[in-house]
């Protein structure tokens, strides 16, 4: 197949890890006879430096004309002083909204070799395989009214609005049920229906959407209990269906349980063009040193192949190459262990390439 | 001193653990020459069964005329089918609002003897001592507009409003700074200021309130990162200052890290009358079997002595009695370990009484 891929490396380690994923994608293209065109674009802090805004119009135009977007990471101390509307993070919110990426898929899986990197006991961590399905373009992230207003008494009032419509909940619920069908067929929907009306609607619509998926088991959990249960027994979960805010929190918690967030990819899908990025950030403290772990980004490229291009075999090949490379003892610094072979960013990319 | 204590045992194990705490409070009164009057009231499911509502007017009147409230737990499967406004949980929200309990203090501390009960590795858990200071009468829990409305196209829309005023943030920030002064003098304020305007205001006001507490160290963390860092290295935190929703989630996560939520107390304070309750729920599955752990409630009684009555010495005596009882090997089922002496609810209460 032919595909055009927008490559937005962004800031910090993004500039080092994205080239490794591109390297792997090129090898896949050659091996499986596809033609991928890679077109770079600016995003985040480096876009601010270059053109004054974190998400330039050209970048958005490029993304819209592409078949998929590969993103590195955005942000860093250099841009933290800026007012909120100009901060690198705004580029993420902007591109999600502009591309209609309402479904964020964040698998938190433990690689057998890396179980000991977790702060949790081996017997709790072994075999964790949770997919967080997070609604990404609604809820309190985008709801209106929002803002800070002056009160008559001189004080201020900060407001955000959590809002979901039937339609928004139904479409993300479907994504979760479909995903569950390819996995262990269990969806746990997270809400706070004992307090929030928006959650009451959420639960009602999820129950309704479930009628078309009788083969999938559905249960409901309050968000506070979910935060607990992830620590107590993360293996009980298959697909965790969350709104935007709860998904932000729980997907990060779930990721950290695995002990190796340098390994975890994500996919944001919805309308035409999907976006694929590692869940870790720009890690400015280790940027430019060739020590960042490129695996999360390479795994994100695999998700791109599978979700954007339906190239499941090719995606599988990348995942197997990652596992094999770990089996051979290759480790970046963040996942080092006694006796392992510590390599840099490019060396890890090369090793995975060889094992493809 | 003389004090009138409203005793709201509530549902499930609440009915078994609260009497144990009352037993201890009576012993303290005798030993230290205080006069505590205990007045029982109805709340939660048992109040629904008795008078049709989860928070009867008489209970509220009783609470308001008391010097402190000791609560067990509310809820159970029996009342889960009820419409939301009649559910036991509503009693909690109602009593918090009516008593003006804007500050919820939830210590998550690990008892040296119980480190191994955690799913986390010993070296990560040992010495955890986090105090979550959660805003309890504002934010998305109470903000308006809220509700579910029909849309012209026949679909529905669920809305809740996250709202904080300068004043609400300032008073809870002060509670956190004051608490930090009696601890390790570090406050970490949790927000999502990179996305939410309500959080932007929250952060601004916290920074401002901090000016009166130069001896306390203040830092800020995004809620998603906080959920991660609690798993990665919970010992880095002293006081975690949170809004209502984030505090709900993170305090439960923090509690579960300790591995023994049957041990953890809470205090809700603000206006005149404080409320003290274990953080665990009504645990209907083990109710009525004399196996529930009364320690969280007994520790809540200790918090009452210290926060409501300034009886720090007496509070300390209860805490030491708990530690001593654990040291002697007494365990309820939830915290059992090899070689320990498994006892029931009343036996645990008796043992702590003896060690007072
Ligand atoms: C940077 C921030 C806006 C973003 C979010 O909250 O969605 C990030 O935390 C994420 O999860 O991708
Ligand atoms: C039962 C529920 C309303 C309550 C809350 O969300 O505040 C509970 O989870 C708590 O934390 O005390």
Q: Provide the token pair at B225.
A: 């990162």
A234 is in an annotated binding site: no
Would you call B183 exposed, middle or buried from its count of C-beta atoms within 10 A (0-12, 13-18, 19+)?
middle
Output the average pLDDT for chain A: 97
Q: Whose CA is nearest to atom 3 of ligand 2?
A: B89
User: What pLDDT score was predicted for residue A317?
Assistant: 98
d(C-alpha A166, C-alpha A203), whole Å: 10
Q: Which ligand is nearest to the CA of B223?
A: 1
Residues A295/A111, Cβ–Cβ less than 8 Å: no
Neighbours of B83 (CB within 10 A): 7
User: What pLDDT score was predicted for residue B336?
Assistant: 92
User: What pLDDT score was predicted for residue B338?
Assistant: 87
Work out the average pLDDT over A179-193. Answer: 97
Give strand ranges (E) for chain B: 2-10, 35-40, 68-73, 103-109, 129-135, 147-150, 156-165, 186-191, 217-222, 239-242, 265-269, 274-278, 330-331, 341-342
pLDDT class for B80, splitting at 50, 70, 90? confident
Q: Ligand 1 centroid to A246 CA: how many Å?
A: 11
Residues A109-143, buried b or exposed e (16+ Cβ, 10 A)?
Answer: bbbebbbebbbbbeebbeebebbbbbbbbbbbbbb
Q: Identify the residue whose tokens are 């030491």.
A: B320
* Cα dihedral B222→B228→B231→B233 (10° resolution): -60
Q: Ligand 2 centroid to A106 CA: how many Å?
A: 27
A87 is in an annotated binding site: yes
- Evaluate: CB of A135 within 6 angstroms of ligand 1: no
Nearest to A119 by CA among B109, B125, B128, B240: B125
pTM of this prediction? 0.97
Cβ-defined contact of B200 to A159 (cutoff 8 Å): no
- Rounded to a whole number of angstroms, the distance from the CA of B301 to the nearest CA of chain A is 24
Q: Which of B195, B224, B257 sits opposite A141 (nearest CB)?
A: B195
d(C-alpha A316, C-alpha B274), whole Å: 58
- Evaluate: CB of B224 within 6 angstroms of ligand 1: yes
Helices and strands in chain A, H and E counts? 12, 14
Torsional sign, CA B322, B326, B331, B337: positive
DSSP state of B282: -
User: What pLDDT score was predicted for residue A205?
Assistant: 98
Cβ-defined contact of B197 to A159 (cutoff 8 Å): yes
d(C-alpha B115, C-alpha B212), whole Å: 37
Work out the average pLDDT over A199-211. Answer: 98
Phi, psi dihedrals of residue B331, rounded to the nearest 5°: -145, 140
User: What pLDDT score was predicted for residue B168?
Assistant: 98
Residue B334 has pLDDT above 90, yes or no: yes
End-to-end CA distance of chain A: 19
Mutate-to-test residue for ligand 1 from A133, A243, A248, highest number of ligand atoms within 8 A of CB? A248
pLDDT class for A84, splitting at 50, 70, 90? confident
pLDDT class for B255, splitting at 50, 70, 90? very high
User: What pLDDT score was predicted for residue A60?
Assistant: 98
Cβ-defined contact of B256 to A157 (cutoff 8 Å): no
Mutate-to-test residue for ligand 1 from A69, A75, A79, A89, highest number of ligand atoms within 8 A of CB? A89
Q: Identify the residue whose tokens are 């607990």.
A: A228
Map residue A332 onto helix, strand or coil.
coil
Q: Whose CA is nearest to atom 5 of ligand 2?
A: B248
User: What pLDDT score was predicted for residue B356?
Assistant: 96
pLDDT class for B332, splitting at 50, 70, 90? very high
Residues 6+ apart with CB under 8 A from B276: B68, B69, B70, B71, B265, B266, B267, B268, B300, B301, B303, B304, B307, B308
- Evaluate: CB of B225 within 6 angstroms of ligand 1: no
Q: What residues of B are annotated to the active site? A: 141, 192, 224, 248, 252
Q: Which of A89, A143, A250 sits opposite B194 (nearest CB)?
A: A89
Residue B198 has pLDDT above 90, yes or no: yes
Q: Identify the residue whose tokens are 């956190």.
A: B176
User: What pLDDT score was predicted for residue A181?
Assistant: 98
Cβ-defined contact of A165 to B159 (cutoff 8 Å): no
- Evaluate: CB of B292 within 6 angstroms of ligand 2: no
Q: Identify the residue whose tokens are 């507009």.
A: B145
Residues B159/A163, Cβ–Cβ less than 8 Å: yes
Q: Which of A162, A249, A256 sits opposite B159 (nearest CB)?
A: A162
Mutation to test the A interface, candidates B120, B143, B158, B240, most A Cβ within 10 Å: B158
Work out the average pLDDT over B100-119. Answer: 96
Residue A83 has pLDDT above 90, yes or no: no
Cβ-defined contact of A84 to B233 (cutoff 8 Å): no
Q: Give pLDDT tens digits for A128-185.
A: 999 999 999 999 999 999 999 999 999 999 999 999 999 999 999 999 999 999 999 9
User: What pLDDT score was predicted for residue A110?
Assistant: 95
Nearest to A10 by CA among A38, A48, A66: A48
- Evaluate: CB of A195 within 6 angstroms of ligand 2: yes
Question: How big is the CA angle at B118 (ends A120 and B218), to the nearest 5 degrees?
Answer: 80
Q: Provide the token pair at A178.
A: 């479909």
pLDDT class for A251, splitting at 50, 70, 90? very high
Nearest CA in chain B to A281: B225
Q: Ligand 2 centroid to B198 CA: how many Å?
A: 21
Nearest CA in chain B to A249: B224
Half-sphere exposure of B321 (CA within 13 A, CB side): 25
- Evaluate: CB of B92 within 6 angstroms of ligand 2: yes
Mutation to test the B interface, candidates A124, A147, A231, most B Cβ within 10 Å: A231
Q: Provide the token pair at A173.
A: 């619920």
Looking only at the bridges linking them, the beta strands covering A330-331 and A103-109 are: unpaired
B143 is in an annotated binding site: no
Q: What is the DSSP string of B98-109?
A: HHT--EEEEEEE
Residues B115-146, buried b or exposed e (16+ Cβ, 10 A)?
Answer: bebbbbbeebbeebebbbbbbbbbbbbbbeeb
d(C-alpha B49, C-alpha B70), whole Å: 21
Nearest CA in chain A to B83: A194
Q: Give pLDDT tens digits for A273-286.
A: 999 999 999 999 99
Map residue B330 onto helix, strand or coil.
strand
Work out the average pLDDT over A4-10. Answer: 98
- Evaluate: CB of A224 within 6 angstroms of ligand 2: yes
- Which contiguous run of DSSP H or E holds residue B212? none
Q: What residues of A are annotated to the active site? A: 141, 192, 224, 248, 252
Q: Identify the residue whose tokens are 């007017």.
A: B57
Residues B208/B202, Cβ–Cβ less than 8 Å: no
Q: Which ligand is nearest to the CA of A199?
A: 2
pLDDT class for A68, splitting at 50, 70, 90? very high
Q: Ligand 2 centroid to B281 CA: how many Å?
A: 9
Q: Give pLDDT tens digits for A256-271.
A: 999 989 999 999 999 9
Q: What is the DSSP string of B216-263?
A: SEEEEEEHHHHHHHHHH-GGG-SEEEE-HHHHHHHHHHHHHHHT-GGG
User: What pLDDT score was predicted for residue A337?
Assistant: 86
- Evaluate: CB of A92 within 6 angstroms of ligand 1: yes
Q: Which ligand is nearest to the CA of A266?
A: 1
Q: Which atom of ligand 1 is nearest to the CA of B192?
A: 6
Residues A209/A177, Cβ–Cβ less than 8 Å: yes
Output the average pLDDT for chain B: 97
Q: Whose CA is nearest to atom 6 of ligand 1?
A: A248
Work out the average pLDDT over A323-329. Answer: 97
Q: Give pLDDT tens digits for B19-37.
A: 999 999 999 999 999 999 9
CA distances from B185 to A310, B148, B174, B217 (A): 54, 43, 13, 6
- Rounded to a whole number of angstroms, the distance from the CA of B215 to the nearest CA of chain A is 25
User: What pLDDT score was predicted for residue A79?
Assistant: 94
- Evaluate: CB of B97 within 6 angstroms of ligand 2: no
Nearest CA in chain B to A84: B194
Q: Which ligand is nearest to the CA of B106?
A: 2
Cβ-defined contact of B158 to A199 (cutoff 8 Å): yes
């Amino acid at each position: 197949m032919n595909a055009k891929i927008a490559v937005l490396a962004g800031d910090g380690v993004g500039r080092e890890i994205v080239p490794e994923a591109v390297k792997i994608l090129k090898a896949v293209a050659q091996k499986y006879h596809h033609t991928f065109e890679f077109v770079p674009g600016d995003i985040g802090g480096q876009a601010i430096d270059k053109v004054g805004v974190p998400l330039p119009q050209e970048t958005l135009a490029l993304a819209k004309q592409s078949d998929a977007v590969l993103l590195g990471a955005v942000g860093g101390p250099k841009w933290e002083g800026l007012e909120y509307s100009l901060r690198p993070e705004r580029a993420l919110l902007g591109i999600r909204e502009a591309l209609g990426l309402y479904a964020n898929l964040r698998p938190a899986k433990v690689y057998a070799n890396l179980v000991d990197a977790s702060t949790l006991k081996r017997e709790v961590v072994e075999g964790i395989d949770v997919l967080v399905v997070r609604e990404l373009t609604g809820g309190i992230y985008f709801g209106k009214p929002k803002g800070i207003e002056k009160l008559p008494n001189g004080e201020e009032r900060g407001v955000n609005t959590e809002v979901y419509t039937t339609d928004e909940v139904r479409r993300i619920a479907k994504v979760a049920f479909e995903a569950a069908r390819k996995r262990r067929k269990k969806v746990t929907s997270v809400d706070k229906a004992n307090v929030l009306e928006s959650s009451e609607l959420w639960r009602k619509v999820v129950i309704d959407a479930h009628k078309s998926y009788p083969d999938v088991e559905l249960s409901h959990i309050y968000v506070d209990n979910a935060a607990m249960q992830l620590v107590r027994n993360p293996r009980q979960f298959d697909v965790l269906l969350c709104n935007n805010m709860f998904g932000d929190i729980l997907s990060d918690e779930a990721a950290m349980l695995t002990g190796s967030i340098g390994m975890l990819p994500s996919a944001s899908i919805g309308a035409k063009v999907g976006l694929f990025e590692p869940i870790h950030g720009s890690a400015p403290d280790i940027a430019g040193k060739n020590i960042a772990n490129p695996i999360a980004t390479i795994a994100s490229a695999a998700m791109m192949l599978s979700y954007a291009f339906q190239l499941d075999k090719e995606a599988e090949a990348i995942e197997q190459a990652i596992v094999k490379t770990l089996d051979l003892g290759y480790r970046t610094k963040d996942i080092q262990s006694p006796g392992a072979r510590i390599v840099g960013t490019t060396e890890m990319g090369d090793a995975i390439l060889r094992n493809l």
